[in-house]
Amino acid sequence: MVERMLAEGKPTYIIEELCMEQMTLELRPSRFNYIRSIIEEEFKEDFARLEDIGILTYEVINLIGDCSELFESFNFSIENEEDRFLRYAVIAKVHDYFN
């Protein structure tokens, strides 16, 4: 891909951007960002408290582990990150985690 784009005379910054996009494709969407946004939207008080005491990132990482089976069973991807049933399931997991 790189050699083809170089041969076509594409600018280096374009080649770098396209290569990074391709290399990180399987990392998207971010489970971290997904869970963090759910906490921020659905658990506002918990979000503020965790952020204030400096452990929000730590707790989101813990929740990624707790939700890993859900993400696998829903085959979490760019195509289904808006799946409402996945969202409800993650909200339930977060609720259980906080209580």
How many angstroms separate the CA atoms of 31 and 37, rounded? 10
Give domain status of residue 1, yes or no: no
Domain residue limits at 49: 29-98
Give domain status of residue 14, yes or no: no
pTM: 0.74
* Residue scoring higher pLDDT (27 or 59): 59
Decide if pLDDT at 27 tops 70: no
How many domains is the chain partitioned into structurally? 1
Peptide bond just before 11 cis, omega within 30 deg: no
Rounded to the nearest angstrom, the gap between the alpha carbon of residue 51 and the centroid of all alpha carbons in its chain is: 18
pLDDT digit string (tens) for 46-67? Answer: 999 999 999 999 999 999 999 9
How many angstroms separate the CA atoms of 38 and 88, rounded? 10
Decide if pLDDT at 71 tops 80: yes
Give domain status of residue 87, yes or no: yes
Give domain status of residue 7, yes or no: no
> What pLDDT shows up at residue 26?
64
DSSP 54-72: T-HHHHHHHHHHHTHHHHH
- Nearest CA to 97 among 27, 55, 72, 75? 55
